[in-house]
């Protein structure tokens, strides 16, 4: 899992670099990639302090580079560099963090199943029943009906997983289903906004017919952290 997350982090950071460059924002890619790799390594050790130290070092290095390269490297470039390392590098490492928990493999599968169900139900409900636009400026094809269908699909998937292999009371699976259904669509729309600002249809061409890493894992960037913190703060506190 760590190897897969590492590959996705590096490719995602490269894709985001290209998006920013189309907006005339030029991040310091070596730092973003290095920080992304270190976030994965920190998640593999299970050390939150390691992750915090990586963020501190990344911000410090970016600040030093800003001073050395100014004015060619701006505050906008610095902010985008740190954001890129966090968004494309750090967020997905929560899957590794979930795997470290008790029954972690079960919860990783729960995140994946609910996230994919959200996307699938939102698509088919939206195609067949969608009337009211959800975010017409960002993604004209998405509808309120499709969004509600996505949340329902996530809840159904979570409940099925809970019934088949329950680890906690079923109400927690329902809540996780709702949580994933909502934040997954936020992640999807956020990535659509990035592409809209950059003026591109897809973030990359890694997967023929499906776009890049950001296109395929946009929802998972937020659903994995959301479930991890729910597990840690509510179920395992």
- 10 token code pair: 């590096």
Is 235 exposed, middle or buried (CB count within 10 Å of its CB: 0-12, 13-18, 19+)? middle
Domain ranges of the chain: 1-100, 102-237
Distance CA(95)–CA(142), nearest Å, equals 27
What's the pLDDT tens digit per position in 197-237? 999 888 877 766 668 899 999 999 999 999 999 999 999 97
What's the pLDDT tens digit per position in 116-168? 999 999 999 999 998 899 998 998 889 999 999 999 999 999 999 999 988 89
- 101 token code pair: 């928990």
Distance CA(131)–CA(85), nearest Å, equals 37
The C-alpha angle with vertex 184 and arms to 157 and 145, in degrees rounded to 5, equals 75
What's the pLDDT tens digit per position in 10-41? 999 999 999 999 999 999 999 999 999 999 99
The C-alpha angle with vertex 140 and arms to 138 and 146, in degrees rounded to 5, equals 105
- 168 token code pair: 């906690």
């Amino acid at each position: 899992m760590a190897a897969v997350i590492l590959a996705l982090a590096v490719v995602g950071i490269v894709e985001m670099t290209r998006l920013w460059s189309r907006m005339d924002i030029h991040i310091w890619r070596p730092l973003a990639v290095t920080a992304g790799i270190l976030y994965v390594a920190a998640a593999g050790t299970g050390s939150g302090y390691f992750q915090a130290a990586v963020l501190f070092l990344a911000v410090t290095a970016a600040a030093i580079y800003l001073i050395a390269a100014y004015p060619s490297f701006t505050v906008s470039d610095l902010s985008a560099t740190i954001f890129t390392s966090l968004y494309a590098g750090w967020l997905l490492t929560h899957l590794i963090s979930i795997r470290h928990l008790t029954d972690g493999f079960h919860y990783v599968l729960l995140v994946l199943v609910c996230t994919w169900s959200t996307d699938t139900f939102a698509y088919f409900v939206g195609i067949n029943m969608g009337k009211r636009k959800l975010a017409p400026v960002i993604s004209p094809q998405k509808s309120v009906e499709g969004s509600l269908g996505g949340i329902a699909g996530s809840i159904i998937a979570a409940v099925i997983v809970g019934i088949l292999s329950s680890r906690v009371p079923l109400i927690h699976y329902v809540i996780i289903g709702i949580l994933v259904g909502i934040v997954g669509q936020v992640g999807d729309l956020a990535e659509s906004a990035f592409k809209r600002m950059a003026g591109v249809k897809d973030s990359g061409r890694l997967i023929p017919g499906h776009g890049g890493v950001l296109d395929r894992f946009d929802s998972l960037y937020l659903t994995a952290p959301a479930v991890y913190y729910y597990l840690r703060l509510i179920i395992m506190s």
